[in-house]
A and B are shown apart, each in its own frame.
Chain A
Amino acid sequence: MTISVNGEPRALASGTTLDALVATLTPSRSGVAAAVNEAVVPRSAWPTTTLDDGDRVEVLTAVQGG
């Protein structure tokens, strides 16, 4: 299946969880948040959130700003 991760298409095995996806981006979970199709997914729900073909995932963190 193909999902969008921070705007880039990415091929993933079906059944991949949000938790597994975030782990490929960063070893740390602190300071990170994720949304799937414009809905925030709490960190505690990442391991049970299975991604589907076509999902749009945004993984954000804090950067210098303001």
Chain B
Amino acid sequence: MADDLLTIADTTFGSRLIMGTGGAPSLDVLERALTVSGTELTTVAMRRLDPSVQGSVLSVLDRLGIRVLPNTAGCFTAGEAVLTARLAREALGTHWVKLEVVADERTLLPDPIELLDAAEVLVDDGFTVLPYTNDDPVLARKLEDVGCAAIMPLGSPIGSGLGIRNPHNFELIVDRAGVPVILDAGAGTASDVALAMELGCAAVMLASAVTRAQEPVLMAEAMRHAVEAGRLAHRAGRIPRRHFAEASSTMAGRAALDPERPAF
């Protein structure tokens, strides 16, 4: 929204939905989903060039005017991630990187030691680093301390669609952070995304929830609305939770009616 921009490092975005491109059934569906989502920042992965592949995700993003955010998906060590980020910078001409250093293929959970090492090296090398991290408030603070431009905690494992398993940790991370906190991974449907924004996340990053939905383009639209609704609710300030009812209609001025009449 024009009056409520997202700022990461020195760049502002009108949309608070960051999209991934993995898992889409085709480039055509991906293009329509990205268009409907309203995203202005979208991730790609770096892989070996395959001369037989037709069409390019880069041409889709270029056509839609969406800023490309390379990731380091598939890296298990700081060294691999740093080299991949440098290759992405060379290939795509951007010093932004979504830093992923995972511990194993089964959980795809971030390896916090390698992640922090890689973040420090890349920040020193001039990168704008957006790290995919555990929902750990201590690690989030350390990543910010080494100069990361945002913190991207997972709600639940990549592709799991389990939503935000520890909302309290998200609140702790948001409460302390001086940089944008962006839900990354775990969103399964619109309510997960709305919750993230209500908890104070500055943005949401997702891919599978849209690209692997039965109707990716419809889900992209749902996610756009969910981000906006959750953000508005966060800004509006929700009512406190209470144990008992609180009437919204006043009792004052009630008519004096005989409870026995008319008889039924």
A residues touching B (Cβ–Cβ < 8 Å)?
Answer: 6-7, 25-26, 30-35, 38, 40, 42-43, 58-66
Contacts and interface: CB of A to CB of B under 8 A. Distances in A.
Nearest to A59: B49
Interface residues of B, number: 36
A26 B49 contact: yes
Interface in B81-110: 83-84, 86-88, 90-92, 98, 100
Interface stretch (B18-26, B168-176, B219-227): B18-26
Contacts of B44: 62-66
Contacts of A66: 20-22, 43-45, 69, 71, 73, 98, 100, 205, 207
Contacts of B86: 40
A56 B71 CA distance: 23
A59 B88 contact: no
A20 to B, nearest CB: 15
Contacts of A31: 56, 58, 91-92
16 contacts: A6-B49, A25-B51, A32-B49, A33-B46, A33-B87, A33-B91, A40-B90, A58-B48, A58-B87, A61-B47, A61-B58, A61-B91, A62-B58, A65-B73, A66-B71, A66-B205
Contacts of B20: 65-66
B126 to A, nearest CB: 14
Interface of B: 20-24, 27, 30, 43-49, 51, 53, 56-58, 68-71, 73, 83-84, 86-88, 90-92, 98, 100, 205, 207
Interface residue SS majority, chain B: mixed
A41 B64 CA distance: 30
A65 B49 contact: no
B92 A62 contact: yes
A62 B45 CA distance: 5
Contacts of B73: 65-66
Which of A26, A30, A60, A66: most chain B CB closer than 10 A?
A: A66
A31 B53 CA distance: 14
Nearest to B73: A65
